Structure formats: structure tokens, C-alpha cells
Amino acid sequence: MSKPRVFSGVQPTGNIHLGNYLGALKQFVELQNTADCIYCIVDMHAITVPQDPEELKSHILDVAALYMAVGLDPEKSILFVQSEVSGHAELSWILTCNSYTGELSRMTQFKAKNKGQESAPAGLFTYPILMAADILLYDTNIVPVGNDQKQHIELCRDIALRINHKYGEDTLVVPEGQYMKEGARIMALDDPTNKMSKSAENEMSRISLLDEPAKIKKAIMRATTDSDAVIKYDPENKPGISNLLTIYGALSDTPIEEIEKKFDGAGYGDLKKELVTVVTESLEPIRERFNSIRYSSELTDILKDGAAKANAIAEPILERVQSRFGLGL
Ligand code: AMP
Ligand code: TRP
């Protein structure tokens, strides 16, 4: 049997943080040995909100270097930039014509970002269709993503099933999402009721993979907790402490119950201090590798080679879909 095909993507908007790492990238690395993996830097998704062109270019290379710094190996996985493979935009249009405005307006991420304004860019509305095209363009079986993308994956499946029903069951491969148990959703340190995000204004709300030890310490020591002084995993009533336990457990590969036992009777300060060490020690080798890759000439060669490989897979799949629809000659 051939290996399953895996596809996932990260937006090049700001530095990758612990949520991205634990919710998505860690799985990307693990899947490399058992699946046929394609990992994309989704720059066309990034322009759904205005971007400074120079910054965007530099963030694309940052994410590429971080992909490699966390352990993605271009010998094993295809690493490339979305806009280098034109099939994403082409398939996206075909899917757009088979999506409903009703289902798009139910996307919680859209509702949160557009805030009911008529002037929201249409790309923000159709963004989940482009994401579906990314996935379907490669006959993907598995999509490793954070929990926050569940609704988008379900939409992708709905669109694929709808098209298959109309144009033949083997038109598109229907993918499955794969969500990490621990770390599926890492919350903001300053407000554990919101997810950790690249775009939150408060720098102390997140830990980016490239943060210096002093910043890591400050953010963790200031993290919002509660006043009942018991170290127990209870996301509903103790979201702050639960988030710290999740991060601790995921980075040190320790079950949460074991951490609870270890800190039985200890204060929040003790947990935080140890967490600073765990996070700093986990991120240090990533930062070192990033620095050696980011400005090497090899980086763009790897991405160009990845785009050529991705394109070779995408082209026949796009042609198959176009022919089912009767497009072209
Ligand atoms: P993005 O930063 O939106 O490009 O997300 C890249 C990947 O990281 C996606 O698979 C997201 O689901 C995942 N991700 C983003 N934020 C978090 C978070 N706070 N916790 C867990 N996973 C996340
Ligand atoms: N929408 C995803 C996010 O914001 C990023 C993304 C774009 C993606 N295309 C994808 C993830 C395809 C998985 C597969 O996190």
C-alpha cells in the first residue's frame, strides 16, 4: 500500500508561536517518517488582510527556516510557497463556484474577523475555499492542524463530497483532519479564554519560537492564573493554570497527571519557574538552527525545488478536475 498523503500550511504573518508549534508543526515532523508529506507556506492566505510587501517576503523565508529548524527535512517532505504553484488559485475558483454563501457566513473565524462590516475584504469571506483548494489539489488524505481549523476542514470535506456526488466519486479525494490531543489549542498567556495568536497586540500574550530567554521568562511569570492556588488541570474553571500545564506536558512529553503530582502542594510561582526552564530549553536548539538556515542561499533553492515537485503532483489532479467540469479544450 502506498503511504497516505499529508498536506498542511502555515501563514507567513508574524513569528510562529508555541500554539502553532504544539498544535501543528510538531505533528508535521512526526508524520514525515510514515507519510508522503507536503508542507506549504500559504502566502496567498496572508493577503486576506493588508500586508507590507517587504515584511511579507521576509516572513515567508522566516517560516520556511522555522519549518526546517523544528525538524522538517526537505529530503523527506516537500516544502514550498503557495503562490509559486498556480494550481491553488485555479482550483480555488472551481470550488468557489460550488460553495454556498450561507456556509461561508457560518465560519466562526470569518465572523470574528469581519465584525459585521460590509467593507471586509471578500478574500476574508472566501478564504476557507482557498484552504480547501490547497488540500484537494494534492489528493490529500490527512491534514494535521490545530483545533481552531476544524470548521474549515469540515467545509473542505463538504465541498469535496458535493462535487464528487455531482461529477463522479473519484473527482476529489475527501481528506480527514488530524488534531493533536494535547496542545490542540494553546491559549493566550495574558487571557487564557482566547487562543494564542500571531496577531494579538500584547507581545506577552504569546511565546514565539524565536523569543529570547528574557522575554520567555517575563511572559510566563506574568501569565494570568487564578486565586485558588491549586495546581490542577481544569480548563473550564482554571483556564490559565490548565494552559500552563498543557504547554509543560506537551514540551516535556509528560502526562498532565504526572505534572499535577509533581507540583502537589507547590505554588503557582514554582510551576511557572520550572515552565520557564522547560520552554527555554526546548526553544534554544530551534533558535540556533533557525539562525544557521535563515540567511543561507540554500533556503530559496529548497523552496524552488519544493514548488517544482508540488507542481508536478498538482498538475494532473487539476487537469482531472477541469476535465470533469468540461473546462478548456
Ligand atoms: P496560523 O498561525 O493561523 O497560520 O496557523 C498555523 C497552524 O497552527 C494551524 O494548523 C493552526 O490550527 C495552528 N494554531 C494556530 N494557533 C494555535 C493555537 N493557539 N493553538 C493550537 N494551534 C494553533
Ligand atoms: N487556514 C490555516 C490557518 O490559518 C492555514 C492553512 C491554509 C492551511 N491552507 C491550509 C492549513 C491547508 C492546512 C491545510 O491556520
In whole angstroms, give the CA distance from residue 28 to residue 186. 17
Q: Whose CA is nearest to atom 11 of ligand 2?
A: 9
Mark whether 215 is an active-site residue.
Answer: no
Q: Which ligand is nearest to the CA of 132?
A: 2
Question: In sequence order, which residues have a C-beta less than 8 Å from that of residue 274 and are 6 or more positions away?
Answer: 248
Domain of 211, CATH number, reads 1.10.240.10
Q: Whose CA is nearest to atom 17 of ligand 1?
A: 19
Residues 90-101: tens digit of each pLDDT: 999 999 999 999
Residue 214 included in any domain: yes
The pLDDT, as a whole number, for residue 29 is 96
Tell me, yes or no, whether 167 and 46 share the same domain: yes
Tell me, yes or no, whether 80 and 125 share the same domain: yes
Per-residue pLDDT of the chain (329 residues; tens, 9 = 90+): 689 999 999 999 878 999 999 988 999 999 999 999 999 999 999 999 999 999 999 999 999 999 999 999 999 999 999 999 999 999 999 999 999 999 999 998 888 887 777 788 899 999 999 999 999 999 999 999 988 899 999 999 999 999 999 999 999 999 999 987 765 689 999 999 999 998 899 999 999 999 999 999 999 999 999 998 899 999 999 999 999 999 999 999 999 999 999 999 999 999 999 999 999 999 999 999 999 999 999 999 999 999 999 999 999 999 999 999 999 99
Catalytic residue among 113, 150, 273, 309: 113
Tell me, yes or no, whether 242 and 95 share the same domain: no
Q: Which ligand is nearest to the CA of 194?
A: 1
Task: Give the DSSP letter string of 14-63.
Answer: S--BHHHIIIIIHHHHHHTTTSEEEEEE-HHHHTTS---HHHHHHHHHHH
Tell me, yes or no, whether 262 and 318 share the same domain: no
Domain of 135, CATH number, reads 3.40.50.620
CA of 263 to the centre of ligand 2 (A): 37
Task: Give the DSSP letter string of 259-325.
Answer: HHHHTTT--HHHHHHHHHHHHHHHHHHHHHHHHHHHT-THHHHHHHHHHHHHHHHHHHHHHHHHHHH
Residue 127 included in any domain: yes
Give me 49's grid cell: 488582510
CA of 210 to the centre of ligand 2 (A): 21
- Choosing from 38, 43, 47, 149 the residue with most ligand 2 atoms within 8 A of its CB, the one to mutate for a pocket test is 149
Mark whether 195 is an active-site residue.
Answer: yes
Catalytic residue among 195, 217, 238, 272: 195
Tell me, yes or no, whether 16 and 137 share the same domain: yes
Residue 66 included in any domain: yes
Tell me, yes or no, whether 113 and 254 share the same domain: no
Q: Positive or negative CA dihedral for 143, 290, 296, 292?
A: negative
Tell me, yes or no, whether 149 and 73 share the same domain: yes
- Kindly state the percentage of the chain with pLDDT values over 90: 88
Tell me, yes or no, whether 41 and 179 share the same domain: yes
Phi-psi region of 226 (alpha: psi -120 to 50; beta: other; left: phi over 0): beta
Tell me, yes or no, whether 75 and 56 share the same domain: yes
> pTM of the full predicted structure?
0.92
CA angle 64, 195, 272 (to 5 degrees): 95
Tell me, yes or no, whether 70 and 126 share the same domain: yes
Question: In sequence order, which residues have a C-beta less than 8 Å from that of residue 267 and are 6 or more positions away?
Answer: 229
Residue 80 included in any domain: yes
Q: Which ligand is nearest to the CA of 199?
A: 1
For ligand 2, residues with CB inside 6 Å are 7-9, 11, 42, 45, 131, 134-135, 143, 145, 149, 152
Question: What is the count of structural domains for the chain?
Answer: 2
Residue 197 included in any domain: no
CA angle 124, 130, 136 (to 5 degrees): 155
Residue 56 included in any domain: yes
Q: Which domain holds residue 76?
A: 5-184+297-325
Tell me, yes or no, whether 252 and 316 share the same domain: no
Residue 191 included in any domain: no
Mark whether 113 is an active-site residue.
Answer: yes
Residues 213-264: tens digit of each pLDDT: 999 999 999 999 999 889 999 999 999 999 999 999 999 999 999 999 999 9
Q: From the CB of residue 281, how many other CB atoms can be counted at a distance below 10 Å?
A: 12
Residue 194 included in any domain: no
Exposure on the CB side of residue 207, measured as CA atoms within 13 A = 33
Phi-psi region of 278 (alpha: psi -120 to 50; beta: other; left: phi over 0): alpha
155 CB near ligand 1 (under 6 Å)? no
162 CB near ligand 1 (under 6 Å)? no
